[in-house]
Copies of this chain bind each other. A is one copy, B any other.
Amino acid sequence: MARLAEVSTATVSRVLSGGKPVSPEVTERVRAAANDVGYRPNPAAQTLLRGSSRTVGVVVPDLGNPYFAEILKGLAAEAAAEKHHTLVAGTEEDPEQEYRSAIELARWVDGLLLCAPRMSTPRLREVAEAARRLVLINRVLRHHAVGSVVVDYHLGVRALCEHLAALGHKRIAYLQGPTAAWSDQQRQRGFRSPEASGLTIIRVPCGSTLADGREAVEEALTYKPTAIICFNDHVAVGVLSRLRELGLSVPHDLSVAGIDNAPMSAHTDPGLTTYAVSTVEVGRQAWSRFAPKPSTATTHIRGELITRASTAPPPHKSPRG
Contact = CB atoms under 8 A, between A and B. Distances in A.
Interface of A: 38, 40, 42-45, 47-48, 53, 55, 62-64, 66, 69-70, 72-73, 76-77, 80, 85-90, 92, 101, 103-105, 107-108, 129-130, 210, 237-238, 240-241, 244, 263-264, 266-269, 280
A21 B110 CA distance: 35
B105 A85 contact: yes
A220 B69 CA distance: 32
7 contacts: A38-B129, A40-B103, A66-B66, A76-B90, A85-B87, A85-B108, A210-B267
A110 to B, nearest CB: 12
Nearest to A269: B269
A266 B76 CA distance: 30
A291 B88 CA distance: 21
A86 B85 contact: no
Contacts of A38: 129-130
A64 B63 contact: no
Nearest to A70: B64
A88 B88 contact: yes
A76 B90 CA distance: 7
List the 3 closest pairs (A to B, CB-CB), nearest first: A63-B73, A44-B47, A241-B267
A101 B73 contact: no
A44 to B, nearest CB: 4
A272 to B, nearest CB: 12
Contacts of A103: 40
Contacts of A238: 267
